[in-house]
Amino acid sequence: MSNKPATIKEIAKILKISVSTVSRALNDHSSIGLVTKQRVKKLAADLNYEPNQRAIQFLHGKSFVIGVILPELSESFFSEAISGIEDIAYKRNYTVLLAQSHDDAEREKLLVEKMKTQRVDGLLVSVSKTTSTYEHFEMFKKVNIPVVFFDRIPPLKDIHYVASNLETGTYEAVNFLLKKGHRTIGMINGPNTLLASHERKEGYIKAMVSNRLKFDPSLVISCDLSEASTITAMDAMLNHKRKPAAIVTFNDYVALFAMRYARSLNLSGIDFVSYANLPIISYMDYSPIASVEQFPYRQGKKAADILIDLINKPKSQSEVEQAYFNIVVESELIVSKLP
């Protein structure tokens, strides 16, 4: 009963006109008379006609699908980013094919393969932590399928990407602490290999310098983001000849570890500032007094927009004049509301 969806053919047969007329009528083509249009549209509505997307995709040689590969949806940065991607895709009539690499380079490679066999029209990627080779992405370029990276950018030339610049947010953060009266500010940073660590450090330095303070490198300590490593860093801070009165931490986890450790030593009064990645942290007894926000939703939207623009861009005649989008979303300091 009421089984197969209606097709354009059936409409044509019932109305005793040709399928081309029906198609044109539904698409408001100028060469179709008003009465015919209305008759067709009426019947289409009655039959609950909906165009078969697979047929259209097939005809156009396009899938209207964008692939999205990201490390972990359970990280709130990514679950928020995917909302932005989804919203744009929806608005621009694209569909999202989502997959998680779970920070596994092998799996990421497989997923990229699958995206290719699925013939996505474009790819949005935030690369896995363990990824060290990038040929699988290069393949896409060869077949002219645009790839846009976001947040976790591979060290490649000539790519499109959207990422946040943590320098500005960090600058604001340190400035905020200085304005609050702190003179000695520490930073528990991430591994030096990460671009993100570098940006944080640069922001820190700029803030110090622009306030006519001299930058003390020994107050910026790297850690590997584990609790143990955070505690080691904290020990170094606390034994420093200039013990910091405020500390900027690489992320909320590190802040959590550091704050807990400080309390376990019965130390209070140190102000912490972090980078927002755990929404739950605001519910907690102790939380950073301010946070650098990276606007994942906004980044997701932007990246999706760029990707779809690229998909629909007429092919550039010469490869040379190809422009690469390198969009930087500025980060921003959000000061916690007092309870």
> In whole angstroms, how far apart are CA 214 and each of 150, 209, 250, 267?
34, 6, 22, 27
Residue matched to tokens 């156009």 = 60
Q: Which is nearer to DNA, 53 or 210 (CB)?
A: 53
Return the half-sphere exposure (C-beta side, CA atoms, 13 A cut-off) of residue 315: 7
Rounding to the nearest 10 degrees, give the CA dihedral for residues 85, 91, 97, 101.
0
Q: Which of 31, 117, 192, 193 binds a second copy (CB under 8 A)?
A: 117
Stretch that binds a second copy, among 203-211, 217-225, 237-245, 272-280 (CB under 8 A): 272-280
Q: Does 268 bind a second copy (CB under 8 A)?
A: no
Q: How far is the CB of 17 from DNA (least distance, A)?
A: 3
Q: Does 320 bind a second copy (CB under 8 A)?
A: no
Tokens of 218: 């020994």
Residue among 236, 332, 235, 339 at smallest CA distance from 286:
339
Q: Does 52 bind a second copy (CB under 8 A)?
A: yes
Q: Which of 195, 228, 265, 284 binds a second copy (CB under 8 A)?
A: 284
What distance in Å separates the CA atoms of residue 105 and residue 122, rounded to the nearest whole number?
A: 20
Q: Does 63 bind a second copy (CB under 8 A)?
A: yes
Q: Does 114 bind DNA (CB under 7 A)?
A: no
Tell which positions 34-53 bind DNA, by CB under 7 A.
Answer: 34-36, 49, 51-52
> How big is the site for DNA, counted in residues (CB under 7 A)?
28
> In whole angstroms, how far apart are CA 109 and each of 18, 92, 115, 167, 228?
48, 28, 10, 31, 32
Q: Which is nearer to DNA, 9 or 141 (CB)?
A: 9
Neighbours of 153 (CB within 10 A): 17
Q: Does 105 bind DNA (CB under 7 A)?
A: no
Q: Does 8 bind DNA (CB under 7 A)?
A: yes
Q: Which of 26, 73, 99, 236 binds DNA (CB under 7 A)?
A: 26
> In whole angstroms, how far apart are CA 96 and each of 80, 84, 112?
15, 11, 14
Q: Which of 3, 45, 48, 61 binds DNA (CB under 7 A)?
A: 61
The region, left, alpha or beta by phi > 0 then psi within -120 to 50, assigned to residue 197 is alpha
Stretch that binds a second copy, among 178-186, 196-204, 216-224, 255-263 (CB under 8 A): 255-263
The binder of 239, among DNA, a second copy, none, by C-beta within 5 to 8 A per type, is: none
Q: Which residues are CB-neighbours of 263 under 8 A, at least 6 positions away?
A: 286
Amino acid at 173: A
User: Given strand 246-249, what is the order of strands in its sheet?
Assistant: 220-222, 185-189, 246-249, 271-275, 290-293, 332-335
Q: Which residues are CB-neighbours of 185 under 8 A, at least 6 positions away?
A: 174, 177, 178, 204, 208, 219, 244, 245, 246, 247, 248
Q: Which of 56, 156, 195, 265 binds DNA (CB under 7 A)?
A: 56
What distance in Å separates the CA atoms of residue 338 and residue 40, rounded to the nearest whole number?
A: 62
Q: Does 21 bind DNA (CB under 7 A)?
A: yes
Q: Does 5 bind a second copy (CB under 8 A)?
A: yes
Q: Does 31 bind DNA (CB under 7 A)?
A: yes
Q: Which is nearer to DNA, 30 or 264 (CB)?
A: 30
Q: Does 135 bind a second copy (CB under 8 A)?
A: no
Interface contacts to DNA, rule CB under 7 A? 4, 7-9, 16-21, 23-24, 26-27, 31-36, 49, 51-52, 55-56, 58-59, 61
Interface contacts to a second copy, rule CB under 8 A? 1-3, 5, 50, 52-55, 57-58, 61, 63, 72-74, 76, 79-80, 82-83, 86, 90, 95-100, 102, 114, 116-119, 142-144, 253, 256-257, 260, 263, 278-281, 283-286
